Amino acid sequence: MQLTDRVVANVHFMRKGKPEWWDAAVGHLSADPLIGEIVHSYRDGYLSGRGEIFQTLVRSIVGQQISVKAADSVHGRLEQMCGEINIDSIGSHTIEELSSCGLSRKKCQYILGIATSEVPLLPDGFEEMGDDEIVKHLVKFRGVGPWTAEMMLIFSLMRPDVLSLGDLGIVKGIQLLVPNAITKKEMLEVAEAWRPYRTGACWFLWRSLDPVPVNY
């Protein structure tokens, strides 16, 4: 029996491509005196969903506390070994095999544990849940902290108003715009004008630091 027969509720297919709210976000953010210039510079691009939450989860765990370049390298080796990244392909390998791709043993345990879990990644009715509720659910899984959960909200669920202040790139991007925004409270105040599209603001802040679009 395949793992997906046992934990099919773990797999949630999300929207792919540009989110339906993106154009409205660009219009709103382009008028902002702080981030507007960045938006105009990269307005031809957009946040793009992968369509499968487990893939986003794996990419997020792989990317924890390492550079984007290093994460891409590790994930590439993981794809070479497993083929398509899904519950079955990950769950059919051992920790030793996964670690040969450059993953730490802990990250292997996290990914394999989630792939074989009886608990669904998202509960029934998650569409009606608020962002904070979903984060609270996701962080129950070993290896999923607030940052990883927020990446899943952004890149898989494509929620429009996520501000990930646990992401060093977002913090750096805000501080380049407002150097005296040091505390979380001060950064939240800066980002208040970007509601209800702070996810879009995160995407443009990442682009301001690296022209290559971020995609988990």
CATH of the domain at 122: 1.10.340.30
Say if 134 falls within a structural domain: yes
Q: Where does the pLDDT of residue 215 fall: very low under 50, low under 70, confident under 90, or very high at 90 and above?
A: confident
Distance of CA 134 to the CA centre of its chain: 13
Using an 8 Å Cβ cutoff, are 128 and 135 in contact? no
Overall average pLDDT of the 98-112 stretch: 95
* DSSP E strand stretches across the chain: 13-17, 49-52
How many domains does one find in the chain? 1
50 pLDDT higher than 80: no
Residue 21 belongs to a domain:
yes
197 within some domain: yes
In a domain, 6, yes or no: no
Neighbours of 167 (CB within 10 A): 18
Alpha-carbon radius of gyration of the chain: 18
The tokens for 114 are 């989630």
User: Is 170 inside a domain boundary?
Assistant: yes
pTM (2 d.p.): 0.86
CA 156 distance to own-chain centroid:
7
Domain membership flag for residue 5: no
Mean pLDDT confidence for 101-125 = 92
pLDDT at 117 > cutoff 50:
yes
Cα–Cα distance for residue pair 173/167, rounded to 1 Å: 10
Residue 169 predicted with pLDDT over 60: yes
- Domain containing residue 19: 11-209
- For the cut 50, the answer to whether the pLDDT of residue 213 exceeds it is yes
Work out the mean pLDDT of the chain and round it to a whole number.
90
Domain presence at residue 4: no
Does residue 120 belong to any structural domain of this protein?
yes
Q: Among 7-21, 31-45, 74-88, 89-103, which is the least confidently predicted range?
A: 7-21
